[in-house]
Amino acid sequence: MSTGGSKRAILAALLANLGIAIAKFVGFAFTMSSSMLAEGVHSVADTGNQVLLLLGGKRASRAPTADHQFGFGRERFFWAFVVSIVLFTLGSAFAVFEGIEKILHPHQLESPGWAIGILSVALVLESISFRTAVHEARPAKGSGSWFRYIRHSKSPEIPVVLLEDTGALIGLVIALTAVILDTVTGNAVWDGIGTLSIGLLLGIIAIVLCIEMKSLLIGESASSTHEAAIRETIEKHPSVERLINMRTEHIGPDDILVATKLQFTGDLTMTELAAIINAIEASIRAVVPEATRIFIEPDIHRAEI
């Protein structure tokens, strides 16, 4: 996933959520619907989250320093993790509290037509943002499932936007259904049930995001495709007798650290060995450009006793 593609998806989500948040709060002012209020807070949280993702991308692009010699690529993982916390606290917790309050103390909606109209427009705008995220994700997703893509993606921004937009679309449908049921039945409890449902939905999405970003922060290996390509490149070099072991780790979405022990053929001078190692590193980067940090240690294979 290119950084440019991620940025386009984030900006599309940011503009959509900002406009939707304003519309929802206007709708709440006219209707006093708790579902509308919960959706407004949800959109504010999503807008703030897009800003956090942009901040993470900017901070991750800083040059390495003496204290952070591998660079700041993990900043993108960290700020995506913060997004999950914001979504849970500001979005989910507020909606759950507001929903319970409305169920315990229901009051009839005012001007429900406003709520239905605004939620319908919000569905259209959110669909545009979702479509942009899907379009940007398709090249990296390939033929695999969307679940697999979100689970194994090393670039956090698009999966975050996809999950947020999915939650927003489902939340809008829930809010719209709650407002319609409230209006048709005259029972204001439906509005509270809708609000509570939105809160629980946001909580589930926040937990999924938190788990995925935690895994990336701890450190995930390169994909099986990348590892196979690196292994094949090393093993086909004529001077490599055996690949003893290899470890990989993403130190950023677009940065892979590769550490490997190799047994070389023949008696090589230090000059020859250095030239061979440099050639292997160049070959690896040719097939996996993300392999920005490569460490090759010459060694002798010892059979385990």
Give the residue extent of every domain in the chain.
Answer: 3-218, 224-298
Of 3.10.310.30, 3.40.50.300, 3.30.70.1350, 3.20.20.70, which CATH number belongs to 224-298? 3.30.70.1350
**Topology alike, domains 3-218 and 224-298:** no
Supply the pTM of this predicted model: 0.80
Q: Class for domain 3-218, per CATH?
A: mainly alpha
161/167 Cα distance (integer angstroms): 10
Q: Which residues pair with 243 in a beta bridge?
A: 262
| Bridge partners for 218 per DSSP | none
DSSP, collapsed to helix, strand or coil, labels residue 75 as: helix
> Which pLDDT value is given to residue 29?
87
Can you give the pLDDT of all 305 residues of the chain as single tens digits?
455 567 888 888 888 888 888 888 888 888 888 878 888 888 888 888 889 889 998 999 899 999 999 999 999 999 989 988 887 777 888 889 888 988 998 887 778 888 888 888 888 888 888 888 888 888 877 788 888 888 888 888 888 888 888 888 998 899 899 989 988 998 989 988 988 998 899 889 889 888 989 999 999 999 999 999 999 999 999 999 999 999 999 999 989 999 999 999 988 899 999 999 999 999 999 999 999 999 999 998 876 54
DSSP characters for 224-269?
Answer: HHHHHHHHHHHHTSTTEEEEEEEEEEEEETTEEEEEEEEEESS---
Instruction: Assign 33 to helix, strand or coil.
Output: coil
242 contacts 216 by C-beta, under 8 angstroms: no
Residue 260's contacts (CB-CB under 8 Å, 6 or more residues apart) are 234, 243, 244, 245, 246, 247, 295, 296, 297
